[in-house]
């Protein structure tokens, strides 16, 4: 490590009044250099010219996953007041991490931010606000879930989706760069795959977003890949398939009534006379769209695994987060009727703009490299937890 670089790191550590985690050249190990430890070893703050001589033998070698390496550092969850982000924030807190949530509450709910997390209300578009959040914390990593997520709305307002999902991701990465935060887990979507590109869809399947939402997410992925390649950001992209279900207490408030399962539950509860099935002329066995439904607790678990992965490897990796099993809209309606033991009347309507016929994940990469194994993504648990959430909110 050259002397000037070390000087910069030490001066940064002084400003931050804490420790630094350094990657030693290209070796996988990390070292922790605290100013206190340094002072104790060399007897006072180092003279500029003595730093390289003194510092080299005085660092402490620790394993990459050691808690000492991340002590005092938080994980920033953008979109942590939203449906998936709040489950991710809960999961991280339960695993002993410190968590900060950044959310503008455009669709998220204040009550969804877990009480153990520090909450910053504001918009990613406002770089000064984001800078203030970074200046008030030391972040180990960012989990970036904040986004606009409605496919149909994106068809009507493509500019807004580019702005919020891609441009704001670029702004976030710039602030991460300014503050030396080098790890990100990004929430992307299966909506960017070419639905005709393979069954099931692997991470290598062709990308050809069928709508502005998927496209904006793909642009965001590329921005992150750019930072990974040229600024040394370690990045994971999770392409979730259909998130569903809720934590077992059912307390997280729903954010999107347009999703299939909340719609079915409204009918099951008698709030609506019937569920509208958006088209039955798709190229699927029963003509209705087929999706890979993955429980939100399994998605939260993937984030925990992703964080571990990032502590051991750099670079840019894309993972599908799904189960490998698809269910059609009709199958979901029938399963809900069975689990809840209620009639669920339906009506076949017209197709929605931008919907693909069949989206099923090939989840093998996440299983092999992350150890990701969905344990909650069975229909019974999905429907029961979603119902509990529905009844309580």
Q: Which of 55, 69, 70, 82 binds ligand NAD (CB under 6 A)?
A: 82
Residue among 7, 54, 64 nearest 31 (CA): 64
Q: Does 381 bind ligand NAD (CB under 6 A)?
A: no
At 338, phi and psi to the nearest 5?
Answer: -70, -50
Give the whole-angstrom CA distance, residue 243 versus residue 82. Answer: 12
* 168 lines the binding site for ligand NAD (CB under 6 A): yes
Residue 377 interacting with ligand NAD (CB under 6 A):
no
Q: Which stretch binds ligand NAD (CB under 6 A): 118-126, 199-207, 265-273, 347-355?
A: 118-126
For the bound state, the minimum distance from the C-beta of residue 303 to ligand NAD, rounded and expressed in Å, comes to 11
Secondary structure of 296-323 in HEC code, one letter for each residue: HHHHHHHHHHHHHHHHHCCCEEEEEECC
Nearest-approach distance from CB 62 to ligand NAD, in angstroms: 33
Contact by Cβ (8 Å): 67, 43: no
Q: How far is the CB of 217 from ligand NAD (least distance, A)?
A: 6
Contact range with ligand NAD by CB under 6 A, out of 80-88, 228-236, 305-313, 331-339:
80-88
Q: Looking at the chain, list the stretches that DSSP marks H as alpha helix, in order from N- to C-terminal side.
A: 3-16, 35-42, 51-55, 67-70, 83-94, 127-135, 151-156, 158-161, 168-178, 212-231, 260-268, 296-312, 329-340, 364-365, 379-392
Q: Does 105 bind ligand NAD (CB under 6 A)?
A: yes
DSSP 201-270: BPTTSPB--SSHHHHHHHHHHHHHHHHHHHH--EEEEEEE-EEE---TT--SPP--TTSHHHHHHHHHTT
**Per-residue contact string for residues 269-308; x = within reach of ligand NAD by CB under 6 A:** ----------------------------------------
What are 317's two structure tokens? 């990796």
Q: Which is nearer to ligand NAD, 59 or 300 (CB)?
A: 300
By annotation, the residues acting in catalysis are 213
Q: How many residues bind ligand NAD (CB under 6 A)?
A: 28
Mask 245-264, x = binds ligand NAD (CB under 6 A)? Answer: ----------x---------
Q: Is residue 106 at the binding interface for ligand NAD, with CB under 6 A as the rule? A: yes
**DSSP β-bridge partners for residue 32:** 21, 60
Residue with smaller CB distance to ligand NAD, 46 or 114: 114
153 binds ligand NAD (CB under 6 A): no
Burial class of 273 by CB neighbour count within 10 A (0 to 12, 13 to 18, 19+) = exposed
Does 164 help bind ligand NAD (rule: CB under 6 A)?
Answer: yes
Which residues does 126 contact at the CB level (< 8 Å), separation at least 6?
none
Q: How far separated are the first and last CA of the chain, in Å rounded?
A: 55
Which member of 32, 77, 143, 147 binds ligand NAD (CB under 6 A)? Answer: 147
89 makes contact with ligand NAD (CB under 6 A): no
Site string for ligand NAD, 223-242 (x = CB under 6 A): -----------------x-x
Tokens representing residue 261 in the block:
């399962």
Query: Least Å distance between CB 148 and ligand NAD?
Result: 6
User: How far is residue 142's CA from residue 172's CA, in Å, rounded to a whole number?
Assistant: 9
183-222 footprint of ligand NAD as x/- string (CB under 6 A):
----x-x---------------------------------
Q: Does 363 bind ligand NAD (CB under 6 A)?
A: no
85 contributes a contact to ligand NAD by CB under 6 A:
yes
Q: Which residues, at least 6 apart from 258, have a Cβ–Cβ distance to it below 8 Å? A: 150, 152
Q: Which two tokens stand for residue 393?
A: 């909110």
Residue for token pair 């104790």: 40
* List 1, 18, 66, 123, residue binding ligand NAD (CB under 6 A): 123
Q: How far is the CB of 130 from ligand NAD (least distance, A)?
A: 9
Q: Which CB, 81 or 310, lies closer to ligand NAD?
A: 81
Residues forming contacts to ligand NAD in the complex (CB under 6 A) are 79, 81-85, 103-108, 123-125, 145-149, 164, 168, 187, 189, 240, 242-243, 255
């Amino acid at each position: 490590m050259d002397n000037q670089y070390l000087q910069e790191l030490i001066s940064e550590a002084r400003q931050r009044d804490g420790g630094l985690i350094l990657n030693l050249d290209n070796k996988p190990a990390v070292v922790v250099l605290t100013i206190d430890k340094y002072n104790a070893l060399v007897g006072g703050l180092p003279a500029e010219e003595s730093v390289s001589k003194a510092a080299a033998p005085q660092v402490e070698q620790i394993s990459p996953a050691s808690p000492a390496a991340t002590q005092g550092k938080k994980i920033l969850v953008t979109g942590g007041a939203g449906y998936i982000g709040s489950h991710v924030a809960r999961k991280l807190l339960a695993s002993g991490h410190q968590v900060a949530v950044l959310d503008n509450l455009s669709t998220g709910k204040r009550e969804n931010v877990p009480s153990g997390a520090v909450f910053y209300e504001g918009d990613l578009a406002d770089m000064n606000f984001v800078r203030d959040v970074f200046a008030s914390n030391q972040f180990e990593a960012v989990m970036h879930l904040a986004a606009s997520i409605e496919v149909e709305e994106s068809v009507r307002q493509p500019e807004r989706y580019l702005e919020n999902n891609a441009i704001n991701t670029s702004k976030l990465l710039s602030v991460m760069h300014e503050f030396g935060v080098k790890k990100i887990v990004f929430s992307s979507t299966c909506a960017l795959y070419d639905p005709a590109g393979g069954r099931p869809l692997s991470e290598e399947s062709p990308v050809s977003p069928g709508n502005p939402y998927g496209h904006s997410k793909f642009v965001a992925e590329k921005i992150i890949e750019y930072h990974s390649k040229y600024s040394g950001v370690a990045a994971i992209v999770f392409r979730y398939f259909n998130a569903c279900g809720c934590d077992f207490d059912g307390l997280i408030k729903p954010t999107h009534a347009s999703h299939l399962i909340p719609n079915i539950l409204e009918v099951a509860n008698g709030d609506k006379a019937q569920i509208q099935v958006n088209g039955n002329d798709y190229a699927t066995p029963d003509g209705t769209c087929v999706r890979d439904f993955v429980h939100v607790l399994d998605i939260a678990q993937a984030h925990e695994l992703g964080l571990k992965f990032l502590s051991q490897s750099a670079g840019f990796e894309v993972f599908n987060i799904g189960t490998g099993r698809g269910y059609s809209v009709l199958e979901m309606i029938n399963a809900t009727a069975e689990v809840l033991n209620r009639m669920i009347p339906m009506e076949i309507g017209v197709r929605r703009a931008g919907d693909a016929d069949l989206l099923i994940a090939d989840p093998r990469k996440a299983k092999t490299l992350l150890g990701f194994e969905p344990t909650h993504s069975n229909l019974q648990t999905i429907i029961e937890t979603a119902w509990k959430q529905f009844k309580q909110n």
